[in-house]
Amino acid sequence: MARKNLFEVSEAANEHSAPEAPRTALVRPLMGMERPLKPGRPVGAISQSLENINSRAQRAEEIERKLAEGQAIVELDPDLIDQSIVIDRLGVSDEVQAGLVAQIREHGQQVPILVRPHPVDGGRYQVAYGHRRLRAVTQLGRTVRAVVRNLTDEQLVVSQGQENNSRSDLSYIERCYFATKLEAKGFSRDIIMASLGVDKAALSKMIALVARLPPEIIEAIGTAESFGRQRWSELADLLEERGKLARAMKAIEAPDFAARTSDGRFQAIYELIKTKAKKTDAVAWIAANGSRLVRISDSETKTTFAFDKRVEPEFAAFVRERLQALYDEFQKR
């Protein structure tokens, strides 16, 4: 960038007998912006220019560097932007999103999103970070302010993870789930550690935790911002106990489950499987002749028939042989 006007000073600086130079602004265009110089008295003007030379040069070089790196902010059509290669969120509540929409409506989009040119679809872009902001401006029918950079897949996920880390924007389970998705996509542990800002031991624990939790349970509960590694580990321990996973899966299908907050959903599942399943006392089935041939036990997940071979040794085998016929009869009902 040309520097010829950096040393430009009012001619009054060289004429001691001339009247004081008018305090008009000298401008130097930088990225379409005018940055005024306001010379005062002759000696003051020279001094001011000399003192500001370095800062102005540094400022110009910084702008040039950012432009070279693709840091210029541009306006893009949201319809041309696709989501990241790996989604890091487990959902955003309608209330939180509505708050962001209201903020952008009133004050505008203050922070640009980061995108890259789409690697396979020319003319389109792909988000590195800023999904919520993109969704908000789309709802408002506005263009989105974005920085466009050429990023590899590794650079994209590192930028995505580090931006979320800097704002403490993801819950613990979201970070764990994000790490697992990155590994499933073939990213190395080094890239995942850089993205999440964790060491090798912490990353191993995060991935191991998700491996113990059914994805259906994680996605049904969601972000669960108030619960960290210890509580999720306790939940994983409980789910591994006999019969408790089935209880949890049944609970997440209940119509009112999704209406709870994410923290509420976690707490509901945790409390449900923390308590022991209620057992119904076994009852005897008594034949017409008074023989107690079968004891029937019911629980939440199964019904057990226990045949007493001491009373009627062949009855159990007889029932077993007729199971298909009984099932066919049941299907016709």
* pLDDT value of residue 58: 58
Choose the weakest-confidence range: 1-5, 149-153, 248-252. 1-5
* pLDDT value of residue 161: 87
User: Which amino acid belongs to residue 269?
Assistant: I
**What pLDDT digit, counting tens, does each position of 144-203 carry?**
999 999 999 999 999 888 887 766 568 999 999 999 999 999 999 999 999 898 999 999
Choose the weakest-confidence range: 17-26, 148-157, 261-270, 286-295. 17-26
* pLDDT value of residue 275: 77
Alpha-carbon torsion angle 113, 132, 121, 119, nearest 10:
60
Which pTM does this prediction carry?
0.58
**What pLDDT digit, counting tens, does each position of 281-293 carry?**
678 888 888 888 8
| DSSP structure string for 160-228 | HHHHHHHTT-S-HHHHHHHHHHHHHTT--HHHHHHHHT--HHHHHHHHHHHHTS-HHHHHHH---TT--
| DSSP structure string for 21-66 | PP-PPB--EETTEE--B---SHHHHHHHHHHHHHHHHHHHHHHHHH
- Tallying the residues shown for the chain, one arrives at 333
Give the list of residues 6+ apart from residue 55 with CB closer than 8 angstroms, or none. none
* pLDDT value of residue 97: 82
